[in-house]
Structure 1
């Protein structure tokens, strides 16, 4: 993606791209694609073609609405605001000040790239949907609008002069080898396959889905039965098939990672960060550093195998970036995969005066491991009961989960910790899969002191902290299982700091 001059004279009403109605139609059809397919394929066999007629009428209505939207949608730039006039029957005029725009995202599918256009999404901290979703603009106009917002977004703390596009500083770039590692450590392939199977079970008729499942199972059983070998050989063959399936899923995950993260580049344009990625569909998103509310470092077992971590952020408008409908999505990623040293260096640069990583992590309550293990006691009891119901006394082997769970709880409690200084509040949790979660104290909005009955029995308490923009995919920011007196002191001290400081978001 390259830059172009400013999008034209201020104050003039402008339309979207002349082919905008086509992309709106495609988006609408995509939303109703599954119901339309179900209607056409499984609506029953009729020689008069009623299903096709109904589907055709539905597509025609969607096309009419898309064309109507194109002719009723206008936008103009006036001063430091974007004005959008839209509406089919009920007209609206929306003013979006540039200083209130937290995130700017430019998205190009393969079809967008063929037409030389992009979809622009502008998001602020509040609301249940994006402030503006412009489908579509010419690529030059989209880039010029993004640059205009970057230069004129004079929110408090963002009034510094912006670096020119050509002086952008590259903070992180992922070569192909790193993206392959990302595919190997991710479970995206398994998630996609599982979602496809779930969709097939819902869309396909029950008997058809069952017949397909029985056919695959029968073929596999016949293939195994064709071998004239003993039990150990059959067990080895089954293990080999499982390993082959897992290997194929990893290959699929690598392919998905290459498509999603090809050409990943994180750049700094003055006070704004820009991420660009994608092989077929190109995505370019921009966010002000000031709008970052919280940070999350993740490290799974496979991450540790490759000596890598990932870094994601929460922004005040992140919960709106799910696509159409404003559904939730994964937190924005500044570093999908990088070495621990690279992640720490990136954080040190972006957090400016804050010291990262902290040196003095505070431990949890001495009996925190026992508190964590109690959950495994319940899991082991339920597992043993279910196994005994089906296999008799052999089900007691499910109690072997207890020593494993106790060992994990002990390792978790030893690794977990918390840190608070004049700038940051940070926690680290996990052991099998680890994460570090932290935020600037100026970004905290509320805090709670929480105690369950078990916490009171053990003399513990936890402090939960709230920031803007945290979604379901982000772990909560919480300092858990502290000695009660220490938790209350932390609660009072942080409450005093939050009340004294001005919220920056």
Structure 2
């Protein structure tokens, strides 16, 4: 256990140590490098010795700090999820990192995290915290094995959806940034291989060279996205034991999340444009106490076939009536608003070009770019209008919006604690309104965007009977 903290801290400050080593090598003096390494390792060892935790019948406590002591106490009644992660180093040493999620909304609060916990204790700790029982010690007998029902598991065929995300492009950008930051960009550009490639490409023309570069970038980014997908989500399983949802995935770094089923308030079906065109979707759980900024804690399915995501959503929520439900369209006014908002920036750009063309000669490609932007805006507006809608089912509210990042939220009506009907100036002019459902789960608020104003409180009263009837009574 003692090895984890020093290695982690050394890796964290590795860039500073490398710089110190380079400076020391120029003067044959490595004392400052060794001193810095000694300070880092000593601080990590002291932090391990000064960290302790206690599970009580009412509260759980965590004490940390070397120079500044901190004591974090959390009521056990606020525990919403227990997540266990294990990097490659943790797995070699038989350890894990346990993160305990609560219902706190504050981003600045310190997380309750137990680093370097014996991996054999993780199942016992997880079961005890989620069932509110006393936490067993290492010498006690393990709890009864509750295998539960497997809802979903990883399929290698899902890897085909990985290139339709931006993870590969981000990885390429990160690698390029590291290369140029360390002064290796010029060396790579001057290498014999790239010089020969660019020389051969010039003979085919500039357009062909740019096309080849774009294809190479897409292939490289897709390959990185596929590798990351397999490493992150390989061996994924979703198991329901009746009271807890267990989600486990990862090859090098494993991640095991346990979600209290009684805290489940719905699901979010995420369908970004590229992934949607490929027929895929991503599924997240809407959980009380699991906030949006806790990335990955609410994951049920990564990028997978849309039919599989819908099936898992229906299984988790306990109802299949949401699978093929038709959404209620918000009418022509909402459609016009989609087109107006999409075409307004294009119209402003066109006006700017028209004014500038009276004084200077505008290149022809500027007008071609404007035409392309107009067609793109029309396509996005059409897609946003087609995807806008909602549905009310017994006990559930379904709302969908977006085009480039379309999301379909299925929210349990019993988890809604308040309603807001909002109208901006332009919405009032168009006779529209936005209905906001407040909930302590997920991102805290889910919107039904640009619904006709006369139907806003009718929607509220349909989902939560009695919540909107006071606004439906005609006032004299």
Structures share fold, TM-score greater than 0.5: yes
Deviation for aligned residue 1:482: 1.6
Deviation for aligned residue 1:422: 3.9
Out of 151, 162, 169, the residue aligned to residue 171 of structure 1 is 151
Aligned partner of residue 88 in structure 1, secondary structure: coil
CA distance in 1, matches of 2:156, 2:221: 19
Deviation per CA, 1:179-202: give whole Å up to 9, x if none. Answer: x2242333311112223334555x
Indicate the residue corresponding to 1:71 in structure 2: 49
The answer to whether the 8 A contact 2:46-2:66 is kept is yes
- Give the alignment of 1:186-265 within 5 angstroms: 186-198=165-177, 203-204=181-182, 208=183, 211=186, 215=190, 223-226=197-200, 229=203, 231=205, 235-265=207-237
Deviation per CA, 1:125-171: give whole Å up to 9, x if none. Answer: 115446521111111112221122233369xxxxxxxx953432111
CA distance in 2, matches of 1:121, 1:181: 31
Indicate the residue corresponding to 2:160 in structure 1: 181
CA distance in 1, matches of 2:165, 2:133: 36
- Give the alignment of 1:22-33 within 5 angstroms: 22-33=3-14
Q: Does 1:435 align with 2:407?
A: yes
Deviation per CA, 1:206-251: give whole Å up to 9, x if none. Answer: xx477468648x98676444468565xx534532332232112111
CA gap of 1:247–1:342, structure 2 versus 1, over 3 A, is same
Indicate the residue corresponding to 2:427 in structure 1: 455
Deviation for aligned residue 1:173: 0.5
CA distance in 2, matches of 1:88, 1:110: 27
CA gap of 1:249–1:131, structure 2 versus 1, over 3 A, is closer
Deviation for aligned residue 1:112: 1.2
Indicate the residue corresponding to 1:347 in structure 2: 313
Aligned partner of residue 165 in structure 1, secondary structure: coil
Indicate the residue corresponding to 2:257 in structure 1: 285
CA gap of 1:63–1:468, structure 2 versus 1, over 3 A, is farther
Deviation for aligned residue 1:253: 0.9
> Structure 2: which 5+ runs fail to align?
135-142, 470-476
Indicate the residue corresponding to 1:9 in structure 2: none
Deviation for aligned residue 1:494: 5.9
CA distance in 2, matches of 1:117, 1:334: 24
Indicate the residue corresponding to 2:474 in structure 1: none
CA gap of 1:74–1:80, structure 2 versus 1, over 3 A, is same
CA distance in 1, matches of 2:201, 2:411: 59
CA distance in 1, matches of 2:165, 2:379: 25
> Structure 1: which 5+ runs fail to align?
1-18, 155-162, 321-326, 501-505
The answer to whether the 8 A contact 1:98-1:153 is kept is no
CA distance in 2, matches of 1:117, 1:44: 36
Indicate the residue corresponding to 2:36 in structure 1: 58
Aligned partner of residue 450 in structure 2, secondary structure: strand
Indicate the residue corresponding to 2:116 in structure 1: 136
Deviation per CA, 1:422-458: give whole Å up to 9, x if none. Answer: 4222112245653212311222344432323322222
Deviation for aligned residue 1:364: 1.1
Out of 322, 327, 330, the residue aligned to residue 356 of structure 1 is 322
CA distance in 2, matches of 1:432, 1:74: 46
Deviation per CA, 1:75-103: give whole Å up to 9, x if none. Answer: 34443653444443555655444432111
Deviation for aligned residue 1:360: 4.4
Q: Does 1:366 align with 2:366?
A: no
CA distance in 1, matches of 2:402, 2:69: 52
CA distance in 2, matches of 1:106, 1:349: 24
Q: Does 1:396 align with 2:361?
A: no
Aligned partner of residue 363 in structure 2, secondary structure: helix
CA distance in 1, matches of 2:55, 2:96: 18
The answer to whether the 8 A contact 1:124-1:130 is kept is no
- Give the alignment of 1:269-284 within 5 angstroms: 269-284=241-256
Indicate the residue corresponding to 1:3 in structure 2: none
| Structure 1 range deviating more: 98-107 or 85-94 | 85-94
CA distance in 2, matches of 1:376, 1:93: 51
The answer to whether the 8 A contact 2:80-2:290 is kept is no
CA distance in 1, matches of 2:332, 2:453: 12
What is the TM-score with the length of structure 1 in the denominator? 0.77
| Structure 1 range deviating more: 236-245 or 416-425 | 236-245
CA distance in 1, matches of 2:6, 2:289: 26
Indicate the residue corresponding to 1:160 in structure 2: none
CA gap of 1:35–1:414, structure 2 versus 1, over 3 A, is same
What is the TM-score with the length of structure 2 in the denominator? 0.81
Deviation per CA, 1:267-293: give whole Å up to 9, x if none. Answer: 112211111111111111111123334
Aligned partner of residue 91 in structure 2, secondary structure: helix
